[in-house]
Amino acid sequence: MPGPLVGSGWLAERLGAPGLLVFDASVGEHRDAGQRIPGARPFDIDGALSDHSVPLPHAMPGPAGFTEELRSLGLRTGDTVVVYDGAGNYSSARAWWMFRAMGFDRVAVLDGGLPGWVAAGLPLESGAPTPAAERGDFTAAPRAGLVVGADEVAHALTDPASAVFDARTRERFLGTAPEPRAGLRGGHMPGAVSLPFGEIQREGLMRPAAELRGVFAALTGDRRRLYFSCGSGVTACVLALGAELAGYRELAVYDGSWSEWGLPSEQRPVVTGPPLVKERL
């Protein structure tokens, strides 16, 4: 594979090739849009590929559940995977990160997602997805440190070698816009850096690697260990994708994100308004 990101042309030339699987990782209103890239199989982050035993959205499933679902979708150990979503570069990055966290590296995000595919005039199909012809043999091998909890993030906020990024809108970061999930406090973690996920994209595509390096370097200085948060652990992965493209390798996603940290019951520190000088990197 050319890297963690592929274009519509790259995928179109290889679509239907043996050992290449395409997964539709759309969420919300885009999940049942009725059209998909031909042969795409559902990667259901809202359903089977979330841990519903915890009261948080899109929680990372355990390795046994992940293994079973991907085997049922026909994934074999030597396959190559492309993930996309109906919004563009949104929830597909979450699927990419989940594969990586579960030990599967031959995976890339389709840059621009379904909107980019449609804009290129490429074929679509509708109706129910075609089930896998046979079960796969994939077995998850979780990697420590790629998906982290609140305690690790709390430590990172005080670690001079780490930076914690927040992918939510700047208004939510500042606490001037309400949270879409009821009961959450407004604001941000003390010491976190605001980088809305849309700012590392341009016209529906990820910005070039050189530009991404400039964006992250300006916010991190010489910090190399980067943590990413958002509302529910989805768009945090868009920032992780951008950092990967920029050349960073020590990356982690906060799975609970603001859906956990922002709970009043968590009693985690929250600040509103612009970051203080001492909070800046």
Active site residues: 230
Q: How far apart are CA 170 and CA 166, in angstroms?
A: 9
The arrangement of strands across the sheet holding 80-84 comes to 5-6, 107-110, 80-84, 20-24, 41-42
Residue type, 54: V
Beta bridge partners of 165: 193, 228
Where does residue 266 rank: exposed (0-12), middle (13-18), buried (19+ CB within 10 A)?
middle
**Cα separation, 89 vs 204, whole angstroms:** 7
With contact defined as beta carbons under 8 Å apart, do 112 and 207 qualify? Answer: no
Q: How far apart are CA 12 and CA 30, in angstroms?
A: 21
